[in-house]
Copies of this chain bind each other. A is one copy, B any other.
Amino acid sequence: MILSRTSQYAVQALIYMATQPSETPVLNKDIAAQLGVPAPYLAKILQSLAKGNLLFSFRGRLGGFCLREEGEKITLMQILLLTEGPAFTQSCLLGLKKCSDETACPLHFRWLPVKKKIIDLLQETTLEKLAKAVESGKYRLADVPGKLFEQVKV
């Protein structure tokens, strides 16, 4: 598995938030329900994203979470640096502590161009793009998405 479950939930949640009107805070409870993920776990993830300055959080009635920046500015890389840790981009395939151009594992120079592709993807993919994809109805954010964009307003 490339990403930890924590990272997967974080990305899913932020994409969902980017599909919602940005004026009113989104509830952890609602996000969890829409994605079908455990609410207590998601709450902890959202709190850490708020500490990482990616979200605003508001307590009390009418509280919830808001994206701190507009969706077009937030990249997947920003999210994953918070959830996977800052060493995320420098990790060695074989797990060596020190694996650089000078002291390299035998896979280092084969892995380098692929890693660059991954990093490029993560840096150029913004929440806005992903949110639009979901809003188009052609892509889904969760298994058995149920009524993510099929619900009728009452």
Q: Name A's B-contacting residues (CB within 8 A).
A: 1-3, 5, 8, 11-12, 15, 84, 91, 93-98, 103-108, 110-111, 113-114, 117-118, 121, 125, 129-131, 133-134, 138-143
Q: Tell whether, in the assembled complex, residue A110 and residue B114 are in contact, meaning their CB atoms are under 8 Å apart.
A: no
Residues of B contacting A93 in the complex (Cβ-Cβ under 8 angstroms): 2-3, 8, 11
The contact sample of 9 A-B pairs, CB cut-off 8 A, is A11-B94, A12-B94, A97-B143, A98-B143, A106-B134, A106-B141, A111-B121, A114-B114, A114-B121
Q: Tell whether, in the assembled complex, residue A140 and residue B103 are in contact, meaning their CB atoms are under 8 Å apart.
A: yes
Choose among B108, B131, B138, B143 the residue that contacts A96 (Cβ–Cβ < 8 A). B143
Residue of B nearest to A139 (CB): B106
Docked CA distance A103–B121 (Å): 21
Residues of B contacting A139 in the complex (Cβ-Cβ under 8 angstroms): 104-106, 108
Residue of B nearest to A98 (CB): B143
Choose among B84, B97, B114, B125 the residue that contacts A118 (Cβ–Cβ < 8 A). B114
Residue of B nearest to A88 (CB): B1
Q: Tell whether, in the assembled complex, residue A15 and residue B114 are in contact, meaning their CB atoms are under 8 Å apart.
A: no
Choose among B3, B98, B107, B113 the residue that contacts A125 (Cβ–Cβ < 8 A). B107
